[in-house]
Amino acid sequence: MDKKKPLVSFMLGGPGCGKGTQCDFVIKENPNIVHLSAGELLREEMATGSDVSKLIDEYIKDGKIVPVKITCGLLKKAMEKAGWEKKEFIVDGYPRNQDNLDGWNDIIGDSVITVSYTHLTLPTILLVQISVVAVSLKKKEQ
């Protein structure tokens, strides 16, 4: 790729551990960084009704991880839309496993400079409490 390679950092961790909150703090201090949420990109694609959106929906309903090519494609598209050659990105919620990381490296890795991986953790009891509250709130919404 001729264009300047963007810098990419990853914010990892389980549901509710504060990935988005930490990304917000980073962006507040560094407004030139673009925050991309893998989950948000998947939800936005699902809302389009495309063939890909139907596939994403099936994987999520089955509790499976969306195929690497789809998620990497959405991330790359979002990076290009934001201005590939001028930007720094922080990606939250991706990669989720070794297959995701290998896919990122195969599909996008040579086109970017990966600068960091930050993994947030919470005590197990807190994660359980967050999950219970989330399930309770979801039931109330239905």
Residue length, the chain? Answer: 142
Reported confidence tier of residue 115, pLDDT bands at 50, 70, 90: confident
- pTM as predicted: 0.76
Mean pLDDT of 9-34: 83
Run of H or E including 114: strand 113-120
**Mean pLDDT, rounded, of the chain:** 83
Structure confidence by residue, pLDDT tens digits, 18-27: 788 888 888 8
Whole-number Å distance between alpha carbons of 92 and 35 = 7
**Looking up tokens 């598209």, which residue turns up?**
77
